[in-house]
Amino acid sequence: MILKNRVAIVTGAGSGIGQAGALVMAKEAAHVVVADIDFMNAEETVSQIRAFGGSAESMVLDVTDDKALEAGIAAVAEHHGRIDILHNHAGAQVAGDLEQVAIDGFDKSWSLNVRAHFMAARFVMPVMKKAGKGVILNTSSSSGVLYDREMIAYTTTKHAVIALTRQMAGDYARFGIRVNALCPGWVDTPFNEPFIAQMGGRDAIEAYIAEKVPLGRWADVSEIAEPILFLVSDRSSYMTGQILVVDGGETVV
């Protein structure tokens, strides 16, 4: 139980990778605050955690709403007296190249994929500084370290998350706070629907992955959960400002 007595906030934890991360933290005895914009999805994750005897609560909010996000984080800190882990995972994938991408889609990507990470970290930082320790994990993407065809909004924001992570890590290490980024590759979740549509359907994306990923397949969310656990736990206690790419080898090709 490597996360016993720790309180974790996971944004976008109602489905996919966020849910898998929340589950694995709860299995290691963390109390997990499941933050998601969708009430039913958040409650489903909480129910799954409680079903195996874990501890969790839902926090339903839009992470791009600064006031709601600040209030939610403040309530967690007040109720539990601590916030040990923040996993900024909520994000959006918006397709299109420079000329095709909708301007409001680009703005949405920036607001959700970058600014919300920034604001959540800003709100938890005083709590972690007071404690003299804490872990922030930001979800970037393999798209944050390579070119991603006709996905300018997504790729730009995911590169920015890496810069944000490194900057925070350097600034706050002296307070005992570690900040790292996770870069998943192709993970089989509904999150990929915009890109699947852009590629021309499921068969097309399967062929693309088989060609571009050396392991020749998608990842299952469980294969991303374990790296998440590593990064938020003391197993990575001397690691900060780093980018962990979990992509089946795509970025080495």
Between CA 35 and CA 187 the distance in angstroms is: 21
Picking from 233, 176, 179, 231, the residue whose alpha carbon sits closest to that of residue 29 is 233
Task: List beta partners, residue 243.
Answer: 181
Residues 6+ apart with CB under 8 A from 142: 148, 183, 184, 185, 186, 245, 247, 250, 251
C-alpha to C-alpha distances, 194 to 30, 154, 204, 242, 250, nearest whole angstrom: 33, 11, 13, 28, 20
Q: Catalytic: which of 147, 154, 172, 238? A: 154
Q: Mind giving me the DSSP string for 21-77?
A: HHHHHHHTT-EEEEEES-HHHHHHHHHHHHHTT-EEEEEE--TT-HHHHHHHHHHHH
Judge whether 154 counts as a catalytic residue: yes
Between CA 34 and CA 86 the distance in angstroms is: 11
- Catalytic residues, which ones? 154
